[in-house]
Amino acid sequence: MLPKTVEVPGIKIMERVAVPSRSSALVVVDMQNDFAHPEGRLFSRSSREIIPVIAKLMERARASGARIIYTKDTHYPDDPVEFPIWGPHVVKGTWGWEIVEELKPKEGDIVIEKMRYDAFFGTPLDHVLRMYGISDLVITGTVANICVLHTVASARLRLYNVYVPIDAVAALNEFDYAAALRQMDFLYKVALTYSEGVHFA
């Protein structure tokens, strides 16, 4: 029988991280209507709540010259892998698939469509990052223990420097949120901080 309560091991949160803007990108994971709009098919309130935090980070990243990269979870009708788990969501071309209005991409931003949790799997993301000389990733978005964690893990296994502002990632519940941060800290040695602690230099 599983314990009713689980003690979360210590997680290191840094007060400040310096991110070199010339070699960095702010990655916005799956901030789409189906996840972050109240009328979305898989809406979670926490995904909505992080929108202003990500928006402020984006302003600072743009001002510093850092790149902005979005991932868009993308499925086609009758997806045989994820629809049995989650039901239909973010079907390409639908309103639910679009990035939320508050975080819409601007000219020059890069949008990567992905069909699985990991933004590197089956996409050109790694090639795009290396082409632009990007080695440092500030990763934000939804949800912490699924698409964010898988993308963070894949980035670290490819030897990118990864920073995660913990108030700019969302989860479906507190357990999933804490478990994801623990994995990022303990297993992948990610620099965890708060959004105000991210300094693009």
Any idea which residues carry the catalytic annotation? 30, 114, 147
CA proximity to 140, closest of 173, 184, 101, 96? 184
Cα–Cα distance measured from residue 140 to residue 29, given in angstroms and rounded to the nearest whole number: 6
DSSP 51-119: HHHHHHHHHHHHHHT-EEEEEEE-B-TT-TTTHHHH-S-SBTTSGGGSBPGGG---TT-EEEEESSSST
Tokens of 86: 């989650």
Helix and strand counts by DSSP (H, E) for the chain: 7, 9
